[in-house]
Amino acid sequence: MLSLGVNIDHIATLRQARYAASPEAYNVEPDLLAAAAASERAGASGITIHLRADRRHIQDRDVFRLRESITTKLNLEMGNTAEILDIALRVRPEEVCLVPENRAEITTEGGLDAAGQMRALAPTVERLHAVGIRVSLFIEPDARQIEAARQLGVAMVELHTGAFANATGAAQTDELRRLHHAAEHAHRFGLQVNAGHGINYTNIRKIRTLPHLAELNIGHSIIARALAVGLESAVAEMLAGMKGDA
């Protein structure tokens, strides 16, 4: 059954807009722990957060507090840096997804070049595996990147669906076909197939047709919908769309 990881980074974005200078004040809102709990009550299988080097939304304290409070699993997205790796090794989330990171970007854009960075990635993967953390790579739906994931020995890949989400018409059909082939390729290697980026309540109808999908990680669309209907309802609506019930 296809599961959902809810990315709550943008709950923290809203908090930081007002409380960046006083993150521990008694009246800080919105509350990340409450958002995570609401997502879990609605049926999310995990909570996803990205601890960026620039700390633009999620803060170190958030990672430790969420680790202690959530009842499902914590999926920590991170760039391949020594500082963030040290935090991951202390927090020990169930899963880490290694992603590219560019300080000029609004959100993560494009997949990790695992094939071009294997020598840098291998020690990080090894250290995460040594403490029992499952590792995923956020990559483009490309055979070369999937082969690199296999060689690195990770358990999962998360296929970047951004090009699909931004395309229309025949171009979107081509991108969906590309994702389909990548999912088949990764599955043949024994890799768990996840996907994320730009998935919304409309394009989920096409995304859910991809073979071998295990989990989707979705943030922006759910948080945007939550402004109108509340977070629990927004998560429930996305889960219904994933099942084909909406």
Domain holding 214, by residue range, is: 3-243
> Is a pLDDT exceeding 70 seen at residue 104?
no
229, 237 Cβ separation under 8 angstroms: yes
Annotation says 129 is catalytic = no
Burial of 169 (0-12, 13-18, 19+ CB in 10 A): exposed
Average pLDDT of span 200-228: 98
Structure tokens at 98: 């290694």
Q: Supply the pLDDT for residue 28.
A: 85
Average pLDDT of span 182-197: 98
Share of the chain above pLDDT 90, in %: 90
**Which entry of 40, 57, 77, 158 is annotated as an active-site residue?**
77
Average pLDDT of span 107-120: 87
**Which entry of 10, 160, 185, 197 is annotated as an active-site residue?**
197
Smallest CA-to-CA distance from 96 within 83, 107, 84 is with: 84
- Counting every residue, how long is the chain? 246
**Residue 242: what are its φ and ψ, rounded to 5°?**
-65, -30
Average pLDDT of span 174-200: 98
Annotation says 29 is catalytic = no
Q: What total of structural domains would you count in the chain?
A: 1
73, 45 Cβ separation under 8 angstroms: yes
Annotation says 95 is catalytic = no
- C-alpha to C-alpha distances, 19 to 27, 48, 59, 217, nearest whole angstrom: 9, 22, 12, 27
> Is a pLDDT exceeding 90 seen at residue 71?
yes
Give this prediction's pTM.
0.94
CA atoms within 13 A on the CB side of 131: 17
